[in-house]
Amino acid sequence: MNNVVRLTMVTLAVLLGGALGLGSAWAVSNPRGMLFRAANIYQGEFEEGKCKVPSATAGFADTSRPICRDATEIVDETDTVVARYPTRMFPDLELYSDFCGGFLVLENNMINQAVNVYKVKVRYTIPDRGFPLLCRAQRRFKLFVGGRVLPVNSVYPSPFGAVNVTLTQLLPIYSPEMLNCLRDPLRGNVSAPVTVVARIRAYGYLDDGRDIMSNKIYYTLTLLPQGSVLGTPSGGVYPPGYTIRCAAEVQ
């Protein structure tokens, strides 16, 4: 086979792979999130027992939070435990203190091309300690989400403020499998307090079918030991007269 024939076959293979979406050349380059950007993580407001979804123009940044490693208990003025909740994941819809956070702000700066978001990948690290070897299988977490981020020149209104911005709540950011492994005395056995950082990245495809992924954004969660008192929850305040503190694991 001469060089001309070989070169022609290689060229055809590259073009065919791109046309079928098999090669990386078919994906959209997005350096530092200039085209498709993960801009921030917001918390909603707690109103009348419900979570009010934030907007891109009136949201509160929510990129770090302390929670209890094992369980959270609500204590009244007589030091009587009125409720106790195991720490399952974060955010958690069943726990008053942190169900109203984790709204990922996604921004599309392209013209005439919407981004159809279908997946978010999370990777966990523990700074200065290292991630437990027997929990490496739980170090990565994947959420399948739905969302459409309109282009910057869209004429359609958005409920989140700017036309090219969408918010999607990540439920959860920190998976039950990972938190369970960190607590497990035979696998993680990670003592509190400990800080776990989540690296978050969104994935989608354009209207023309090309793949695109956002820049990385980070969330910091600090797991507190038994006896610690928690501060203000995400998106609200605790009922007056009650104390929220960390308890032993609920059996």
What does the pLDDT look like over 53-66, one tens digit per residue?
888 877 788 899 99
Number of residues that make up the chain: 251
3-state secondary structure of 197: strand
Q: What is the mean pLDDT of residues 148-176?
A: 94
**Nearest alpha carbon to residue 82 among 224, 222, 238, 225:** 238
Q: What is the C-alpha separation between 158 and 21, in angstroms, rounded?
A: 31
pLDDT (tens digit per residue) in 203-234:
999 999 999 999 999 999 999 999 999 876 55
The domain segmentation of the chain, as residue ranges, is 1-28, 34-247
Estimate the share of the chain in helix, then strand, then coil, as percent rounded to the nearest 5: 15, 40, 45
Would the pLDDT of 13 be above 60? no
- Would you state the structure tokens that stand for residue 6, as one six-digit string? 């070989």
